[in-house]
Structure 1
Amino acid sequence: MILSNDLLNKIDWEKGNGLVPIVVQDEEKEVLTLGYMNKEALERTLKSRNLFYYSRTKNRIRMKGEISGNFQFLKDIRLDCDNDALLLTVEQIGPACHLGTKSCFSEKVELPKEEDRIDYSYSILQELENVIKSRKENPDEKSYTSFLFKEGKEKIFKKFGEEAVEVLVAENRERRIYETADMIYHLLVVLSYEGISFSEILKELKGRRK
């Protein structure tokens, strides 16, 4: 726990050019607003328990509610792990937003549909790699992957070569995407046959970055 007297010195003021971003939430943990404080604004907040913000547009310190009467009283304050942001819990009097809403984050944004979401993680390749490994170690007569391993190196390498060519000769964008997915699958089969994990490929690529 940090003593309030030590907080001013613990914050990395230089990182924010003399300002620290503050996330303000109410006692029910709903986020109300995002603002900024300089050292003086924070010091006045700690002493009075009334929230003081630093206005970047007006270049001055202002007390929340000084005109509207929608005051914020400090109940709890937490410093983040990098010492460059604060989370403040307040008792909110009236709406927090100058537009009259409870929170400044009241306008909901519609996200893309789940089926249109792009997954940039490695997880889908890991899942496929694990399935291929399982079919290699525990053959299933109904599995195409198990069939490839049964046929051996020549068949596995030939199929990968065929799929690579299919990518190059694909007649349109949709077909090239389809054939690329096939090629990646067969590449993972080649790697599995050779006892190479895809993580080793990623490690090699990472090592090539300057």
Structure 2
Amino acid sequence: MDELINRVNWEKNGGIVPVIVQDTRGEVLTLAYMSREALRKTLETGYAHYYSRSQDRIRMKGEVSGNVQLVKEVRVDCDNDALLLIVEPKGPACHTGNYSCFYRKLGEPERIAEEIDYSLTILRELEELIKQRKEKLLDGSYTSKLFAEGKEKIYKKFGEEAIEVLVAEDRERIIYETADMLYHLLVLLAYNDISLGEVMTELRRRRK
């Protein structure tokens, strides 16, 4: 595996390379990026892992949404500085809910698929921020303060927020308090080194 990974020219683009992703019928799904470790995880698991430049982390495609990409073939270009993944997608590739990120011609308006649900994406972004605040405490950060105060405070705050949901008197208040509860639940999970993806996996197992 190391020999295969080392064939890629990682140094040319600062340790990451562009990745064209297409399905087994030849339709281009998206353009992503990989680091050495992302390619390693892809080869080890058989599922596409990409490097997120905005979040500076490796993520498995569909780790929260379930829209994973089963990798059938990995190709490298003539200069060894770009990859092509041929995949079997389990759901949309695009964050808009469309099958491919290239669903429109230049100049056409963006189209959001009706079934798209951004909630899990928002939760995943919040989870990542909470993890960062845990690993590096930041002055003035409420999240960092919770981690500094420890388990008793974290568990107490989650319990308080859960009660606030139960006693909320109207629809708007329930929504507001539920948002607070979900945030504190993610803090509790992060304290125990449990990822949201693990919870989603358990829910998926129960559904089967």
TM-score by length of 1: 0.50
CA distance in 2, matches of 1:67, 1:11: 29
**Residue type of the partner of 2:59?**
R
* Matched positions, count: 108
Q: Which runs of 5+ in 1 are unaligned?
A: 111-210
1:43, CA displacement in angstroms? 0.2
Question: Are positions 1:50 and 2:47 aligned together?
Answer: yes
Counterpart selection for 1:28 from 10, 25, 28: 25
CA distance in 1, matches of 2:3, 2:76: 12
Counterpart selection for 1:78 from 75, 78, 81: 75
| 1:27-49, Cα deviation, whole Å (9 max, x unpaired) | 00000000001000000000100
Name the residue aligned to 1:69. 66
Which segment is superposed worse, 4-13 or 37-46? Answer: 4-13
CA distance in 2, matches of 1:68, 1:18: 27
- Aligned positions of 1:3-152 closer than 5 A: 4-109=1-106
1:5, CA displacement in angstroms? 4.4
1:6, CA displacement in angstroms? 2.2
CA distance in 1, matches of 2:2, 2:20: 20
1:7, CA displacement in angstroms? 1.9
1:9, CA displacement in angstroms? 0.7
CA distance in 1, matches of 2:96, 2:65: 11
Secondary structure (helix, strand or coil) at the match of 1:35 reads strand
Please provide the CA RMSD for this pair: 1.5
1:16, CA displacement in angstroms? 1.0
1:85, CA displacement in angstroms? 0.2
CA distance in 2, matches of 1:96, 1:33: 7
> Which of structures 1 and 2 has the bigger CA Rg?
1
TM-score by length of 2: 0.50
Secondary structure (helix, strand or coil) at the match of 1:22 reads strand
Secondary structure (helix, strand or coil) at the match of 2:42 reads helix
1:109, CA displacement in angstroms? 2.2
**Residue type of the partner of 1:13?**
W
